[in-house]
Chains A and B, each alone.
Chain A
Amino acid sequence: MLEAVGLVKRFGGFTAVDGCSLTVAERSMTGLIGPNGAGKTTLFNLLGGYYRPDGGQVRFKGRDISRLKPHQRFRAGIVRTFQIPHEFARMTVLENLTVVPPGQLGEGLAAAWFWPWGVARQEAKIRARALEVLEFLKLTHVKDNPAEALSGGQKKLLELGRAVMSGNRCVLLDEPAAGVNRALLGDLTERILDLHRIGYTFLIIEHDMEFIAKLCQPIYVMAEGKVLTEGTMADIRRDARVVEAYLGHSGAAA
């Protein structure tokens, strides 16, 4: 469904992503792991359209989307979340969700001014959908609070909620478990599994190995801007190169 083909991204003399290829199959939960600085988030930014690749291609449903801007990739059908939550701080939790759906009539000034009835009708539907999503995420009790008042874990849930509101079925999650307490993590895992069951495709970056092992297959391992290997968790654990990448050369020798 989503493919990276030989992606390259350089920052000055430093090559952050160095010929990366990976494939996210439709309805899969593909994992992406690697030590810090491996280039995972850079790869995500290339997939999401935040960087232009210096080489290679991003393909979605067979189409080259390398040159599309972030909002155009959203329209193509991809949605991403952020490692550090990017909530709309001074907007309510509910508004953080209702702002997302594409094709809102009232986003045009003409309709906002002269056709409020049409806008209101659509708003009612969007609001109902947002309330459903909040129920699903167990955030209903904070719906009218400003998003900045949420806990770190709740903000992560809100990120997922925004992805759901998009209507896009290809979701890129950047460290969804980071900073989420154990109790909430269970919820988050369940919610992701629920979405997967109804047909969502995920690509997940994560450091929490337990979380990845539970959710993802296949798993890609990145190090120094390259994809080292891919496979199931068991395959990866057996791979000496992965151990070396995580522990360094001396660690592997020891």
Chain B
Amino acid sequence: MTLDSLALYLVSLATMGGIYAVLTLGLNIQWGMTGLMNAGVAGFVAIGAYTTAILTTGPSASHLGGLGWPVWAGILAAGGVSAVLALPIALVSMRLRSDYLAMATLGIAEILRLVVRNEDWMTGGPRGIAGLPKPFETLGTPVSQLAFLGLVLGMIAVLYWFAERAHRSPWGRVQRAIRENEVAAAAAGKNVEAFRLQSFVFGAFAMGLGGALLAHNIKFIGPEAVEPLIATFLVWVMLIAGGSGNNRGAILGAFAIWTLWAATEIMTAQLPPELGGRAAYVRIFLIGLALQLILLFRPQGLIGERPPKPLGQID
């Protein structure tokens, strides 16, 4: 591998890590801050990815849309549609206790996956939607890759700012109170369902953005990209590893686990071909093992939660 191709590889690694950081920030808003166990991250990733795919691709007979919107509009719409669709889901499921919410969201995500797989007229079915525009592509290598990475990092920065400010405000304090003890939060006059709903929708917006970035990065979206393993489980591992309840932890966890995930790909690629077919399962095993080790030895994650400094308070 030449130095140039190594550098490009690292850029693509950082880009994917960054896209996952957007998803992990979204999950941190829901789980870390409020305690909403969303086991259907993949569903919102799918909504975001397919929304931007339908809006930004050129006209095509093989799927819905092809409206040729600009990429930035597609990405924002992806967040918006994801948030809007999160609303009815939240309305029916916000009363559920965390474990039941997990089951409900898991089910909804699976339904969405089956929809994208089978509703060919809309999503292209198993063939997916190809030919998504990737921004900055006219700039050539390596500027275009770096510019896309810059877009992803910028997205993380903006999202981090919004998430962190929310976390440090009285809004975030109420969310933590709900996470700690929802009965007591209601006794303190807080409308628990309304707060949870806001957190769920906010997180879903981030997940929709992440899904859109994912699709534009590889210029393609298909049902495999929104499998629960890759789009839900991995995000959970990242959040737990980085430090649930801590926005910086969420970002760090995404980059760390994505690096590990990519490293397992390189490692399993070295295996003899007769084992190659099983390699995918070895990777899953390794990530599962990493999760177990983290839970055993560092349950708070790399950077654990700490009480946020309230807004405007200078120490």
Contact = CB atoms under 8 A, between A and B. Distances in A.
Interface of A: 48, 50, 69-71, 74-75, 79-82, 86-92, 95, 98-100, 102, 104-109, 111-113, 116-117, 119-121, 123-124, 127, 162, 166
A98 B187 CA distance: 14
B60 interface: no
Nearest to B245: A90
B75 to A, nearest CB: 20
B311 interface: yes
B187 A119 contact: no
Contacts of A79: 187-189
B180 A89 contact: yes
Interface residues of B, number: 31
B311 A112 contact: yes
A235 B209 CA distance: 69
Contact of B189 (A74, A90, A123): A74
B183 A119 contact: no
Given A116-B312, A119-B169, A120-B312, A75 B189 contact: yes
B310 A108 contact: no
B13 interface: no
Contact of A99 (B166, B186, B188, B312): B188
B140 interface: no
A107 B191 CA distance: 11
Contacts of B186: 69-71, 74
Main SS of chain A's interface residues? helix
Given A119-B311, A120-B312, A109 B166 contact: yes
A119 B184 contact: no
B171 A90 contact: no
Contacts, number: 118
Contact of A88 (B170, B180, B202): B180
B176 interface: yes
A99 B169 contact: no
B180 A112 contact: no
21 contacts: A48-B187, A50-B183, A87-B180, A88-B177, A88-B181, A89-B180, A90-B176, A91-B180, A91-B307, A95-B173, A95-B176, A98-B170, A107-B171, A109-B169, A112-B166, A112-B311, A116-B165, A117-B312, A119-B311, A120-B312, A123-B311
Contacts of A98: 170, 173, 310
Interface in B275-315: 305, 307, 310-313
A15 B179 CA distance: 33
Contact of A106 (B169, B181, B307): B169
A95 B180 CA distance: 12
B198 interface: yes
B190 interface: yes
Contacts of A121: 312
Interface string B179-217: 011011111111110000010001000000000000000
A81 to B, nearest CB: 8
Nearest to A69: B186
A105 B310 CA distance: 14
A77 B186 CA distance: 13
Contact of A107 (B170, B176, B305, B311): B170
